């Protein structure tokens, strides 16, 4: 299928927006910005509640969404991105732009990222991904990239609009060519959340595709529930609920085991991880919950356990309107296949995507429990 191209005729970008119990007003801003700049928008809902589903169905009928994938339960960030990549391939796109539900692009964000990629091409560089710095309008904080010197990490302090190789970029706001994904493979689904982007960036660099950062903020992204400034203002600590801290510590240890992660990088990163854990336990309320999350995460990481952990699943508490810990049992998810291609649904228990009638606003409810459904806007 031939996709419509960007204004310069060289690229067709599909925006993949991953949704989990969103703030609909914020999601509306993210959708409007993506729809105005990308040739196609695919929304993947990780755990569709009726209110969100109804709202998204309405936005799809109005043309803001070209492909809507609804998963009754949360399969994780990597799974959701990989489903969007599949849609990009099927619709003839050249690039994917990964976005979170709270990430709002600047009006010229996509054109600047594509321009940066073209600049690199003229230098003879084939980037794995191009991303820009992001800011959090809630706190007025601008987040810089990190570079790895071979011995330590250092923050990038460069002039505005500089373009340089970086250690990694967060998934939200990253522009990735589909040709790179064909070679490097998709995002790891067994990480569920956290370090999915870091692992992929290292895998891309290992395959010969460096990751580049543009030193100007082009995305307004809400990181965690806010930040807390450490004593003397030496650093900022993003605030995450305990269930999220579990995956941060578990997946970091899983990441260190990957063959494309340098040992010195893992050692220095572990030092930073320990410092973060100490700061969380000292500064964040709920020390018992965080202690349990950190300890369980490290134990499971050492044991090589991956996938969604039933003891630490994101769950929205209506009274708190924020994610809390869901107590349960272990839920094992198979690790990604080693073929180098994007991890498919079959790697996650043989699930299949069911078609959804475009003539029904409410959708076909006959799909088996736990099976995602999808609907595509006709003619898009």
**Of the candidates 372, 370, 368, 373, which has an alpha carbon nearest to the alpha carbon of residue 357?**
373
pLDDT of residue 160: 72
Cα 365 to Cα 131: distance, rounded to the nearest angstrom: 39
Residue 60: helix, strand or coil by DSSP? Answer: helix
Contacts 24+ apart (CB under 8 A), 19-23: 19/43, 19/44, 19/45, 19/46, 19/52, 19/56, 19/101, 20/45, 20/46, 20/47, 20/74, 20/101, 20/314, 21/47, 21/49, 21/52, 21/316, 21/323, 22/52, 22/101, 22/102, 23/101, 23/102
Q: Is domain 13-376 classified as CATH 3.50.50.60?
A: no
Whole-number pLDDT of residue 305: 95
Distance CA 163, CA 20 (A): 32
Q: Where are the alpha helices (DSSP H) in 123-174?
A: none
In the prediction, which pLDDT does 314 show? 82
**Contact by Cβ (8 Å): 51, 70:** no
Annotated domain spans of the chain: 13-376
What are the strands, taking DSSP E only, across the chain?
Answer: 13-19, 40-46, 67-71, 95-100, 104-105, 129-136, 141-143, 146-148, 153-155, 163-165, 174-177, 211-220, 227-229, 236-238, 313-317, 322-326, 354-355, 373-376
Please report the pLDDT score of residue 232 as a whole number.
55
pLDDT at 40: 96
What residue ranges of the chain have pLDDT lower than 50? 1-3, 234, 317-368
Token digits of residue 242 = 């305990």
13 forms bridges with which residues in the sheet? Answer: 95
Q: For the chain, how far is it from start to end, CA to CA, in angstroms?
A: 11
- The per-residue pLDDT for 279 is 84
What confidence score (pLDDT) does residue 331 get? 29
Per-residue pLDDT, 161 = 74
7-40: pLDDT as tens digits: 555 799 999 999 999 999 999 999 999 999 999 9
């Amino acid at each position: 299928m031939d996709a419509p191209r960007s204004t310069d005729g060289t690229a067709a970008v599909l925006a993949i927006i991953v949704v989990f119990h969103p703030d609909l007003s914020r999601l509306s801003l993210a959708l409007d910005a993506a729809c105005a700049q990308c040739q196609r928008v695919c929304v993947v809902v990780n755990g569709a509640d009726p209110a969100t589903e109804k709202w998204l169905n309405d936005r799809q009928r109005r043309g803001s969404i070209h492909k809507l994938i609804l998963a009754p339960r949360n399969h994780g960030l990597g799974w959701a991105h990989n489903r969007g990549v599949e849609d990009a391939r099927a619709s003839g796109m050249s690039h994917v732009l990964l976005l979170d539900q709270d990430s709002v692009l600047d009006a010229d964000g996509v054109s600047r990222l594509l321009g940066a990629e073209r600049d690199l091409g003229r230098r003879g560089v084939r980037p794995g991904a191009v991303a820009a710095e992001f800011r959090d309008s809630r706190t007025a904080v601008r987040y810089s990239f990190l570079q790895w010197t071979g011995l330590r990490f250092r923050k990038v302090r460069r002039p505005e609009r500089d373009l340089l190789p970086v250690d990694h970029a967060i998934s939200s706001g990253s522009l990735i060519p589909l040709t790179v994904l064909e070679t490097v493979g998709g995002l790891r689904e067994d990480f569920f959340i956290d370090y999915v982007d870091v692992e992929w960036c290292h895998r891309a660099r290992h395959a010969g595709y460096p990751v580049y950062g543009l030193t100007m903020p082009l995305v307004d992204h809400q990181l965690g529930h806010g930040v807390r400034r450490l004593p003397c203002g030496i650093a900022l600590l993003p605030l995450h609920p305990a269930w999220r801290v579990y995956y941060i510590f578990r997946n970091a240890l899983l990441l260190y085991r990957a063959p494309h992660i340098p040992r010195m990088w893992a050692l220095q990163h572990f030092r930073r991880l320990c410092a973060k854990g100490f700061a969380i336990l000292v500064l964040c309320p709920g020390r018992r919950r965080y202690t349990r999350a950190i300890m369980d995460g490290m134990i499971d990481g050492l044991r090589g356990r991956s996938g969604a952990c039933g003891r630490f699943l994101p769950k929205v508490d209506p009274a708190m309107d924020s994610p809390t810990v869901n107590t349960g049992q272990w839920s094992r998810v198979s690790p990604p296949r080693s073929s180098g291609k994007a991890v498919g649904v079959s790697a996650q228990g043989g699930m299949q995507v069911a078609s959804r009638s475009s003539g029904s606003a409410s959708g076909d409810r006959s799909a088996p429990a736990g099976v995602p459904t999808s609907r595509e806007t006709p003619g898009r």
